[in-house]
Structures are given as structure tokens and as C-alpha cells.
Chains A and B, each alone.
Chain A
Amino acid sequence: MRLPKPRGGLSEWLVARLAEPGLTGSAPGADSWDDESISLWTLHELSFRGFEDADDRAEWDPDLLGVRRDLETALEERLRARWTEAGAVAAPAPADVPTALEDLVAADDGPSLADFVRRRADRDQVLELLRQRSVYHLKESDPSAFVVPRLPVRAKAALMALQFDEYGDGDPNRLHSHLFARGLEAVGLRAEYGAYVDDAIPENLEMNNAGSLFGLHRRLRGAAMGHLAAFEMTSSLPSRKMVQGLERLGLEGPMADYYDEHVEADAIHEHLAARDICGTLADDEPDQAAEVLFGAFTCLDVEARFATAMLRVWEPQR
């Protein structure tokens, strides 16, 4: 993947700095949320697959880490403020964590893009949604993989069981991000890692940045696992709707297969995540219970904001 297009002064500075490691000087402030989001996305990406036109050593460059920390602090404060505003539920007793997660998910009233795809989306809208989703699905599960060494025994074993399935149960052909890439190809879209980052709306970048922030910081392991649980718990039924919508539009084949796999897989993963990962983590580290819920709320909240932004363009009259 090549460096993304800058979206303002900060990302312009950052992209120049990554392309030419000799540059010095301090970072300007961000011009906009868009500028801020693409900058943090780019800095995080240095810890995933990196960029062919950036220096690999930039991942641990102290100046860039300083910029990343400032952007992460602002993002985390924003996310926590939304949780407080939404009435942050008090930390449940460890044994009640799975039920608390279920309640949180059941109370989610964000708009459903899967519903829209099933019933009304046209082909161009579905392709646009797939381009946006590709930012995450082409690195599906990678943020959670960073959390493995930071967990106690039971949660670690359960996360590995879940990740093993996400990564194809040992078969590269079944790796979920690979299934999504095959799906993109089949519907005529580009399938290479990071292909549509320049098209990502800021709500989408924020969704990705939140997941990476949680995955990359040991301090945020509880939030990362709560985020994973909420993601898995809101996947199997919507995935079925995606299959129905894709078939309605004549897009059956590998892309529908990707979603089809998630109907079944995530009906399992949601229990592994809520009970065996989050439940046991809270049991072993009770102070993580509140963090689990914060992470779960954030997952639902960033998705709701993304869906609202997409639907505002597609169905302004509704």
C-alpha cells in the first residue's frame, strides 16, 4: 500500500515526513476532523502492514509517536465523553459481564446498513458500502491479535480459539480478510490491502482508529475485548441480511459467501467473546469490567455514526 492522500495541513506534514525520513520540524495542528483521522489512521498503519513509500523505522520515531499520542488522547477523550453522555452503565460484577453486554447490544438503536442493503440499496450504493467496509475487512481481526499476550490464561485461550477461526482455522483460503478480498474482486472492486482508504469518510476512519487504539494499547485491553464482543454480537443477523441484499442485486458469489460465513461463524464468536473472553477477563481482573462495557459501547457508537453518515447521503428525505 502507498501513503494515503493528505486531507489537510497535519496529514500533509505527516505524509511528507514519512516519505522523506530526513525531514525535521514539528507537526502543525490538524485542520479538521478528517485531517486528524487520516493522520492517526496512517500512524497506526505503521504498526500493521506499513507503506511501501514510507520508512519502516518511522513506526518507532519519537517525534511521530508524540503526534500519535496527542491524536490518540483526543480520540480516547472523545470516545469516553460519548460513553459518559450516553449514561455509562456502572461496572457490572464480573459474573454479570456477558448479560451486561447483551443488554447494551439489545438497547442499541443505531440505523442498520444491513437492513438498507437487504431492502432498498441499489448496486452502486452497495459497492460504495463495500469500498468503505474494505478499510476494516481487509485487516479483519488484526487489531484484536495484538491483545493476545496481554490477557490472563482463560481469556487468552478463548481469544485464540476465536482468532483461529477468523484466520481460517489454519487454511489460508478461509482467512476472513482473504474471503473479503475475493469478494471484492468478484464484484469488480480492487482487492489489495488498503485500496480504498482515500475514499473512507471520517466516520469510517474513526471506527477503524478506535479499534486500532484499543488493540495497540495494553492499558485498553478490556475495551479492546468489549469492542470485539459487541462487534461479534451484532454480526450474524446483519450478515444474513447482507447476503439477502447481495442476492437481490445479483451479487451472489464470493462476496455473499463472505457474509454467509459470518452468519455461522459469528453466531459462535459472540458467545466466545462475551463469556469466555470478556467474562473471564473481568473475573480475573475486575477493574476491566467497566472497560469492557466502554469498548462495547464504542463499537456500537462508531458504527451508528458511520451508518447515519452513509444513510444521510443515500436517503436524505428519511
Chain B
Amino acid sequence: MSERDFDHPDVVLVPHGPMLLRGAESVQDLEGTVHAVDRPVVALCRCEKSSRLPWCDGTHKVIPR
């Protein structure tokens, strides 16, 4: 099967939310630290307000848009 039936992007930007990343093995944060990924999907913080960067911790929901 060469044609794919469904869109299944590796990166999805959530409106006013994080970036969902599928199938990654490691992520480098702003300081240059590399974090191992052990989940099928991770949410990377885009608002830079998370308490556990580079991951989203839901804080974006409480900052005024």
C-alpha cells in the first residue's frame, strides 16, 4: 500500500497549545540539554511558561491570550 488513507503527521500544532510530536527518540531543549523520549507522542511547550520545559504541563491554559 503506497497511498496512505489517513493524514498522520509527525508534528501537530495545537491552537494556543503545545506542539505534538510523534515518534521522536530525543528532544533538545533551549539550554541544549537532550531529553530522551519514552512515549509514542509528546507535547512540547510553545508558550515557554511550562514548569517542566521542554514539555507542556498545561500552563498555557491559564495564561491570558
Question: A237 an interface residue at 8 Å Cβ cutoff?
Answer: yes
B43 contacts A271, CB within 8 Å?
yes
Residue among B17, B40, B58 facing the most chain A CB atoms (10 A cut-off): B58
Contacts of A265 in B (CB 8 A): 39
**Closest approach, in angstroms, between the C-beta of A69 and any C-beta of chain B?**
37
Assess whether B38 is in contact with A169, with CB atoms less than 8 Å apart.
Answer: yes
A212 interface hit (Cβ, 8 Å):
no
Interface residues contributed by chain A, number (CB under 8 Å): 19
The residues of A that contact B59 with a CB separation of less than 8 Å are 237
Cβ-defined contact, A240 with B43, below 8 A: no
Main secondary structure of the interface of B (DSSP, over half): loop
Q: Mark A266-297, 1 if CB is under 8 A from B, else 0.
A: 11101110010000000000000000000000
Give CA–CA (A164, B38) in the complex, Å: 11
**In-complex Cβ contact of A272 among B41, B56, B57, B58 (8 A):** B41
The one of A161, A164, A267, A275 in contact with B58, judged by C-beta atoms closer than 8 angstroms, is: A267
Task: Give CA–CA (A153, B1) in the complex, Å.
Answer: 16
Q: Are A268's CB and B57's CB within 8 A?
A: no
Question: Main secondary structure on chain A at its contact with chain B?
Answer: helix
- Interchain CB contact under 8 A, A169 and B39: yes
* CB-based nearest A residue for B40: A161
Q: Which residues of B contact A165 (CB under 8 A)?
A: 39-41
Given A161-B40, A271-B43: A237 in contact with B55 (beta carbons within 8 A): no
Q: Does A10 contact B (CB under 8 A)?
A: no
Residues of B within 8 A of A236 (CB): 57-58
Establish whether residues A271 and B52, one from each chain, have CB atoms under 8 Å apart when the complex forms.
Answer: no
Distance A164 CA – B12 CA, assembled complex (angstroms) = 20
Decide: A237 and B20 in contact? CB cutoff 8 A: no
Say yes or no: is A199 at the interface (Cβ < 8 Å to chain B): no
Q: Is the CB of B6 within 8 A of A240?
A: no
In the bound complex, residues from chain B placing their C-beta under 8 Å from that of A275 are 14
A306 CB to nearest chain B CB (Å): 21
Q: List residues of chain A with CB within 8 A of the CB of B18.
A: 267, 271
Give the docked Cα–Cα distance between A5 and B20 (Å). 46
C-alpha spacing A267/B43, complex, angstroms:
7
CA distance A267 to B36 in the complex (A): 18
Per-position 1/0 for B9-52, Cβ under 8 A of A: 00010100110100000000000000000111111000000011
List 7 additional contacts besides A237-B58, A267-B55, A271-B14; criterion CB under 8 Å. A154-B6, A161-B40, A240-B51, A263-B57, A264-B57, A266-B58, A271-B18
Can you show 29 pairs from A to B with CB atoms below 8 A apart? A154-B6, A161-B41, A164-B40, A165-B39, A165-B41, A236-B57, A236-B58, A237-B57, A237-B58, A237-B59, A237-B61, A237-B62, A240-B51, A240-B58, A263-B51, A263-B58, A264-B43, A264-B52, A264-B55, A265-B39, A267-B18, A267-B55, A267-B58, A268-B39, A268-B41, A268-B42, A268-B43, A271-B18, A275-B14
Residues of B at the A interface (CB closer than 8 Å) are 6, 12, 14, 17-18, 20, 38-43, 51-52, 55-59, 61-62
